[in-house]
Amino acid sequence: MTGHSAAASVNTVLAELFAAAAHGCRDRSPLTQRLLADAAADLAAGGVTSKIMAGSERDRAGTAPGLRFAGAVHRLVLEGRAPGLAKHYPTAGGRPDLPALWDDALPALAEHTGLLRHRVQATVVQTNEPGRSAPLYGGLVVAAQEAAKAAGRHVPFCVRLLEVGASGGLNLRPHHVGYRLGDTVLGDPDSPLVLDPGWTGRPPADLGHRLRVVGRAGCDLHPVDVSTEDGRLHLSSFVWADQLERWNRLRDALDLAAADPVRVEQSPGPEWLAGQLARAERGVLTVVWHSVVWQYVSPADRAMGRAVLADAAAKATPAAPLALLVFEPRRTDDDYRFELLLKLWPAGISLNLGHGAGHGTPFTWDVSPWG
Residues 58, 364: Cα–Cα separation, whole Å: 38
| Angle made by CA atoms 6, 297, 336, in degrees to the nearest 5 | 85
What pLDDT is stored for residue 10 in this prediction?
A: 62
pLDDT < 70: residue spans in the chain: 1-10
Q: Where are the beta strands (DSSP E) in the chain?
A: 158-164, 178-181, 184-187, 194-195, 199-200, 213-220, 264-266, 284-291, 322-331, 336-345, 349-356, 363-369
CB of 273 within 8 A of CB of 305? yes
pTM of the prediction? 0.91
Strand partners, 285: 159
Q: What pLDDT score does 192 carry? A: 97
Helix (H) or strand (E) holding 337: strand 336-345
In whole angstroms, what is the distance from residue 191 CA to residue 198 CA?
18
Tens-digit pLDDT profile for residues 95-116: 999 999 999 999 999 999 999 9
pLDDT at 58: 85
Q: Given this model, what pLDDT does residue 336 score?
A: 78
